Amino acid sequence: FDPERTTIADKHLDVIKLSLQSMPERRRQVFLYNRIHGLTPEKAGKMCGISRTAAVKHIAAASALITQAICEDN
């Protein structure tokens, strides 16, 4: 465990948390169901009352936002 890598990971985690907080609730929920809880986009969408297609769009948008935030932070 390299201290520099740990510091970078902690910084990225903070950026991810802020990105998640800035998202609309539904987008955040679909993203978390998919990426954290391992649900398929279809199941994540169903949990949020939206279609699979809408869930995929929310997941992609959330992923793009987080990636952009991390890149801008570097």
The pTM assigned to this predicted structure is 0.91
What local confidence, expressed as pLDDT, does residue 74 receive? Answer: 79
Question: Dihedrals φ, ψ of 24, to 5°?
Answer: -60, 150
> Closest by alpha carbon to 48, among 61, 39, 66?
39
Confidence band for 16, pLDDT divided at 50, 70 and 90: very high
**Which whole number is the average pLDDT over 44-60?**
98
Query: In which band, very low, low, confident or very high, does the pLDDT at 51 lie, cut at 50, 70 and 90?
Result: very high
**pLDDT bucket at 47, cuts 50 / 70 / 90:** very high
Contact residues for 52 (Cβ-Cβ < 8 A; gap 6+): 41, 42, 45
Report pLDDT for 1.
75
